[in-house]
Amino acid sequence: MTIKFLFINLLLLYIVSCAAQGTASGGPPDTLGPILISVQPPNETLDIAPNQKIILRFTELLDPVSIPASITLAADYIVKVKGRYIIITPDKNWPINQVLNINISRKIRDYQKNIMAKPIQLVYSTGVHIPDGHISGNIEGHSSEKLIEIGLYNWPIHDSSVVLQKIEADEKGFFKCGFINYGNYVLGAIEGVLTDINVQIRNKNYAMLTLDYISLSPIDTAQHVTMRLSKPLERLKITSVVMENQYSTNLIMNDQSEEAFILDTLYVPGDSIKINMIKNNRLETYSLPEYTFILPEIIDTTGPVYINSEFKSKVLRLTFSEPIRLASEAVIIKHDTLDIPLYYQRENSFSVMLSNLSDTITYIKLLGDYIQDLHGNTMADSVKKISINRSVIEEEIIIGGNILGTVKYAGKVPIIVEAHNIENDKIYTAHVNKQKFKLENLQAGKYKLWAFESLHATDPTTYFSGTWTPYSRASQFSLYPDSVDVRSRWDVEGIIIDFK
């Protein structure tokens, strides 16, 4: 009876264990990723054996496809996945008297495609020492659904700087980079997989330190920082040109945008054209890489076309489809039965301006026979009547509320306070004077407030998120923890923003 009972129990155990290998059905949906339960040997174990296995146990079955690319270890190793377990073994032996840093990405997932809420960092030593330096931090402005990788670099930064450690932030934006030797360091973060931060800040959201560097020493073994995720610092370059006619072209940029460009009429087909341009992004002024092409011969048989007009500040601006030549009789008004030519000024090759038009003039006429492109083709419309719209759109008068408060900041850099309307994304800014600020005439609604150092060279109200080459730290900032409700004709007072 005992043997039979034991057999039945073993059979039931086998059936249950086999059933456990599949995806569970029924019950509430699984929305949580795997959670690490235990690790053997314990994290931070010293003097591990050369062939020591490292075994991680999780709360649920792991999708084995997600494992190999999620483990980073600067040594040759073999990884095996068995149900809820990850087993890491050396390919031969672990390096002698060295520290083994093992970083495991949040990308490890279960069979319901749920990733982990937190990354895992383990460290072991085949010797008797593990560095005790730690840097922790928070990434503000992150999305819990997107991965953020943080890189640790030696200070000062130079062209050949390599990442010393890469760690991930958890779903709340918190990260911890541990087991670091004493020294001076900087951090850089990328939304996504960090490869080359100097290149990636041009096309990915990024975050940088608000300090020149972080120092770890026997006296200060741990530091905590806060960084803000900001938009990329895109730099454009010309990828191709599309000729509109012999002397005008559309420049196609690497972001697929287009920009009209006028060529000097001294160029002839076959000449080598070099285009050098200077642009600005959110923080920088930069030169586009020189673009060179051979000017083709364009057979142009189509005349210029009137595009639009704009009346602003008592000036009427007329724009055409290509570079034009105008005779003095090209623009006229009708007075009684006479055609009176109007004086105009060339703004550029594409447009002309008419200033100081009498209020009695409600329209003008363009005479196509007197308007030609650079190939002598006349305008298709022999007469084009253009109405002048002088209607002035009155600005909406907003009777709003004010926010008054104090900024606690011990530094010497000017401070800007910014209020962001949660409902319509309107932005209001104010300068801090003697630690006091006043945001005036804000539209009624709920606002988020923050303050930051004004480090931008040309626009003091734009947050300076830092540059990598040349290296320049991001502005320090402080977020007000609560939203502020603004009402018309009311003052909200007592707001304190503290740079701790």
Q: How confident is the model at residue 25 (pLDDT cuts 50, 70, 90)?
A: low
Question: Which long-range contacts does 75-79 make (Cβ < 8 Å, 24+ apart)?
Answer: 75/100
Average pLDDT of the residues in 219-240: 95
The closest of 42, 89, 34 to 64, measured between CA atoms, is 34
Those residues with Cβ within 8 angstroms of residue 301's Cβ, 6 or more apart along the chain or in another chain: 375, 377
pTM of the shown model = 0.78
pLDDT exceeds cutoff 60 at 132: yes
CB 417 within 8 A of CB 449: yes
Q: Cβ atoms within 10 A of the Cβ of 303, count?
A: 20
Min mean pLDDT across 107-116, 175-184, 315-324 is at 315-324
Min mean pLDDT across 23-27, 243-247, 313-317, 402-406 is at 23-27
SS3 (DSSP) at 371: strand
pLDDT value of position 10: 35
Separation between Cα atoms, residue 474 and residue 471, nearest integer Å: 10
Pick the CATH number of 401-498 from 3.40.50.720, 1.10.520.10, 2.40.50.140, 2.60.40.1120: 2.60.40.1120
Those residues with Cβ within 8 angstroms of residue 411's Cβ, 6 or more apart along the chain or in another chain: 453, 476, 499
Sheet order of strands, 401-408 included: 436-442, 401-408, 491-498
The closest of 191, 162, 165 to 176, measured between CA atoms, is 165
The single-letter DSSP state of residue 485 is: E
Min mean pLDDT across 33-42, 238-247, 364-373, 392-401 is at 392-401
pLDDT exceeds cutoff 50 at 484: yes
What is the maximum span of the chain, computed from C-alpha positions, in angstroms? 124
Structure tokens at 294: 């051979």
Those residues with Cβ within 8 angstroms of residue 284's Cβ, 6 or more apart along the chain or in another chain: 233, 235, 467
Q: How confident is the model at residue 399 (pLDDT cuts 50, 70, 90)?
A: confident
State the distance between the two ends of the chain, measured CA to CA, in whole angstroms.
73
Average pLDDT of the residues in 264-276: 90
Average pLDDT of the residues in 134-157: 93
Separation between Cα atoms, residue 270 and residue 203, nearest integer Å: 36
Average pLDDT, rounded, for the chain: 89
The closest of 422, 414, 401, 430 to 464, measured between CA atoms, is 414
pLDDT in tens, 435-455: 999 999 999 999 999 999 999
How far, in whole angstroms, is CA 464 from its chain's centroid? 13
The dotted CATH code for 31-130 is 2.60.40.3710
pLDDT in tens, 29-80: 778 999 999 999 999 999 999 999 999 999 999 999 999 999 999 899 999 9
Min mean pLDDT across 4-13, 150-159, 297-306, 472-481 is at 4-13
Min mean pLDDT across 18-22, 106-110, 271-275, 456-460 is at 18-22
Separation between Cα atoms, residue 70 and residue 65, nearest integer Å: 10
Q: Cβ atoms within 10 A of the Cβ of 8, count?
A: 10
Domain coordinates in residue numbering, the chain: 31-130, 238-294, 306-387, 401-498
Separation between Cα atoms, residue 124 and residue 46, nearest integer Å: 6
User: Hey, what CATH topology would domain 306-387 get?
Assistant: Immunoglobulin-like (2.60.40)
pLDDT exceeds cutoff 70 at 106: yes
Separation between Cα atoms, residue 206 and residue 194, nearest integer Å: 10
Three-state SS for 6-69 is: HHHHHHHHHHHHHHCCCCCCCCCCCCCCCCEEEEECCCCCCCCCCCCCEEEEECCCCCHHHCHH
Average pLDDT of the residues in 214-237: 96
Average pLDDT of the residues in 271-288: 94
SS3 (DSSP) at 198: helix
pLDDT in tens, 303-359: 888 888 888 878 899 988 888 889 989 998 887 778 888 888 888 888 899 988 888
Specify the amino acid at residue 351.
Answer: S
Same fold, 306-387 and 401-498: yes
Min mean pLDDT across 22-36, 118-132, 477-491 is at 22-36
Specify the amino acid at residue 203.
Answer: N
Q: Cβ atoms within 10 A of the Cβ of 191, count?
A: 21
Structure tokens at 34: 């795997």
pLDDT value of position 404: 96
